[in-house]
């Protein structure tokens, strides 16, 4: 007996062999997908009728700072340097463990509601982010964000905390939590520190999450201090590999793109954040054409200001079109691949496609809405017309976290109330 059968669905498998199944079934057992097809002989404890809906892999947000939900709308319309150094970092210095716990629960709630089933996070007070992930039922690849600013003492302490977090949490919550090392960026971490982080990560068989070339200022800093850009600098210290998730990668030359593709680096594109902070337009179409693995992220809520991956998909497609002045750039199916299959590859998880043996991480999107009618092409509708609010049901590891728009895994009203109070208390501490 299976656990769940979803029937009468348009199944968007994102698997090239299975393709789309117009009136299909998905069978879930023990947290995994047992069957995907036109019909099934199985029976199950729970049957979900998905008539008029699309069943698809849950979306994978590959660059987030979950706790930053508390800073939603806190520092808008600013240049990145002032935003980070004058507003965000001083505010982050006042954050407590409990703040991060509530902020991360709020992020999990928002992601579950809008169809994200996995996310990669880099932040501080990470034990409490992990606790929120464990409680909510979502899947995540978590890293303690490390910055040494060239101080050996700080480097030692940061790496110690990063390693402690990895050994404490990797594989926890029935395998839903994986961990990564999170050196912040090449212009906030020293060369020596980045070399140590890579060595530790290789030794521990753990992936790395890092910001790279988000701004022209980083490019200029690296050229002035090292005589080369961050991509060549990281190549020089043997940092690159399929184990690296590089967020942003906006300021790339054609030579940089070749290096990233050659080393199999995973690149998280974060178009809304890049637009809001006026960082620039990442050459996503060129990266994909070169064979690089490009996935999609929201970044934190202080530069987005939400975690809706549907909005991110649409923005990614539109930004490439206007950036290249080519309306054929980054078509809908390719964006869906970025948000599913490519994201799973970047995090090293068996999700992102609906296929036998893979994690039962999926969402049901209700297409019976005025703004989703008529339905000529499902991929087009999901990328250009749908939003996170159209997600009806969210399933992670075979557990239903939201059903028929009702969140079942967390006490939504309780978290909303606590988030309001937490942000008020935080604001008064920041002002004092
Ligand atoms: C040390 S934990 C992570 C660190 O990153 C900061 N952050 C959030 N968004 C961005 C961004 O777009 N560029 C650079 N750094 C960013 C966050 O506030 C934390 O301090
Ligand atoms: Zn970031």
Q: What does the pLDDT read at residue 29?
A: 98
> Is 299 annotated as belonging to a binding site?
yes
pTM for this structure?
0.98
Three-state SS for 265-298 is CEEEECHHHHHHCCCCCCCHHHHHHCCCEEEECC
Q: Mean per-residue pLDDT for 1-12?
A: 98
Average pLDDT, integer, range 239-258: 98
Among 313, 330, 347, which residue terminates a domain?
347
Residue 341 has pLDDT above 90, yes or no: yes
Of all residues in the chain, the percent with pLDDT exceeding 70 is 100
Tokens of 339: 């948000």
Say whether both 317 and 383 belong to one domain.
Answer: no
- Kindly state whether residue 218 falls inside one of the protein's structural domains: yes
Of 269, 267, 265, 290, the closest CA to residue 279 belongs to 269
19 in Cβ contact with 13 (< 8 Å): yes
Calpha distance 155→141 (Å, rounded): 22
Query: What is the rounded average pLDDT of the residues 314-330?
Result: 98
pLDDT band with cut points at 50, 70 and 90 for residue 432: confident
| Shared domain check, 315 and 264 | yes
Model confidence at 312, pLDDT cuts 50, 70, 90, reads very high
Average pLDDT over residues 174-184: 98
132 and 233 share one domain: yes
Q: How far is the CA of 34 from the centre of ligand 1 (A)?
A: 39
| 358 annotated ligand-binding residue | no
Q: Which domain holds residue 390?
A: 2-57+353-407
Residue 294 reports pLDDT greater than 90: yes
Whether 396 and 286 share a structural domain: no
Residue 400 has pLDDT above 90, yes or no: yes
pLDDT(251) > 90: yes
Q: 302 and 341, same structural domain?
A: yes
The answer to whether residues 38 and 127 belong to one domain is: no
Q: Is 145 in the pocket of ligand 1 (CB under 6 A)?
A: yes
**Residue 98 domain-assigned?**
yes
Report whether pLDDT(303) > 90: yes
- Residue 5 to residues 29, 35, 308: CA-CA distances in angstroms? 9, 9, 27
Name residues whose C-beta falls within 8 Å of residue 344's C-beta, 6 or more positions apart in sequence: 57, 60, 118, 350, 351, 352, 353
How many Å lie between the centroid of ligand 1 and the Cα of residue 243? 21
- Confidence band for 300, pLDDT divided at 50, 70 and 90: very high
- Quote the number of domains for the chain: 2
Candidate from 84, 128, 251 with most ligand 1 atoms within 8 A of CB, to mutate: 84
Task: Give yes or no for residue 426 having a pLDDT over 90.
Answer: yes
Average pLDDT over residues 150-166: 98
Here the CATH number for the domain that contains residue 241 is 3.20.20.140
Residue 302 lies in a domain: yes
Q: How far apart are CA 124 and CA 92, in angstroms?
A: 9
Is 176's pLDDT higher than 90? yes
What distance in angstroms lies between residue 302's CA and the mean position of ligand 2's atoms? 10
Confidence at residue 236, expressed as pLDDT on a 0 to 100 scale: 98
Same structural domain, 151 and 298: yes
Please give the Cα distance from 420 to 260 (Å, whole number): 42
Q: Is the pLDDT of residue 363 over 90?
A: yes
Residues 165 and 37 in one domain: no
Judged by its nearest atom, the ligand closest to the C-alpha of residue 305 is 1
Q: What is the dihedral of CA 413, 417, 418, 421, to 10 degrees?
A: 170
Range 316-339 average pLDDT = 98
Probe target for ligand 1 pocket from 79, 88, 307, with the most ligand atoms within 8 Å of CB: 88
The per-residue pLDDT for range 202-218, each reduced to its tens digit, is 999 999 999 999 999 99
Distances (CA, A) of 423 to 70, 73, 100: 6, 11, 11
How many angstroms separate the alpha carbon of residue 146 from the centre of ligand 2?
12
Does residue 422 sit within a domain? Answer: no
Q: What pLDDT sits at residue 81? A: 95
């Amino acid at each position: 007996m299976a656990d769940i059968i979803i029937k009468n669905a348009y199944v968007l498998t994102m698997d090239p062999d299975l393709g789309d199944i117009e009136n299909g079934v998905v069978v879930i057992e023990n947290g995994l997908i047992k069957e995907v097809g036109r019909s099934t002989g199985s029976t199950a404890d729970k049957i979900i009728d998905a008539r008029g809906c699309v069943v698809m892999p849950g979306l994978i947000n590959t660059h987030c700072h979950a706790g930053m939900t508390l800073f939603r709308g806190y520092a808008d319309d600013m240049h990145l340097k002032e935003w980070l150094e004058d507003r965000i970092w001083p505010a982050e210095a006042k954050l407590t463990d409990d703040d991060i716990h509530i902020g991360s629960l709020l992020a999990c709630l928002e992601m579950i509601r809008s169809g994200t089933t996995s996310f990669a996070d880099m932040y501080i007070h990470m034990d409490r982010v992990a606790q929120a992930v464990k409680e909510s039922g979502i899947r995540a690849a978590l890293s303690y964000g490390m910055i040494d600013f060239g101080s050996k003492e700080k480097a030692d302490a940061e790496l110690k905390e990063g390693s402690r977090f990895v050994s404490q949490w990797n594989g926890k919550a029935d395998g839903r939590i994986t961990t990564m090392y999170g050196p912040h960026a090449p212009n906030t971490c020293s060369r020596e520190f980045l070399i140590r982080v890579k060595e530790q990560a290789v030794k521990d068989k753990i992936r790395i999450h890092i910001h790279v070339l988000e701004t022209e200022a980083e490019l200029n800093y690296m050229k002035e201090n090292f005589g080369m850009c961050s991509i060549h600098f990281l190549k020089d210290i043997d940092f690159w590999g399929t184990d690296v998730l590089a967020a942003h990668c906006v300021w790339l030359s054609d030579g940089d793109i070749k290096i990233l593709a050659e080393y199999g680096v995973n690149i998280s594109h974060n178009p809304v954040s890049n637009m809001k902070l006026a960082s620039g337009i990442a050459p996503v179409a060129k990266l994909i054409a070169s064979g690089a693995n490009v996935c999609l992220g929201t970044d934190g809520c202080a530069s987005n200001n939400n975690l809706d991956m549907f909005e991110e998909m649409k923005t990614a497609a539109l930004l490439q079109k206007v950036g290249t002045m080519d309306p054929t750039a980054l078509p809908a199916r390719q964006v869906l691949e970025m948000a599913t299959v490519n994201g799973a590859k970047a995090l090293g998880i068996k999700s992102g496609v609906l296929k036998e043996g893979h994690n039962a991480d999926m969402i049901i999107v209700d297409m019976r809405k005025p703004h989703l009618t008529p339905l000529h092409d499902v991929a087009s509708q999901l990328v250009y017309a749908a939003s996170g609010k159209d997600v009806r049901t969210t399933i992670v590891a075979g557990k239903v976290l939201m059903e028929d728009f009702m969140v079942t895994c967390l006490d939504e009203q309780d978290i909303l109330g606590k988030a309001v109070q937490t942000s008020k208390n935080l604001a008064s501490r920041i002002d004092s």
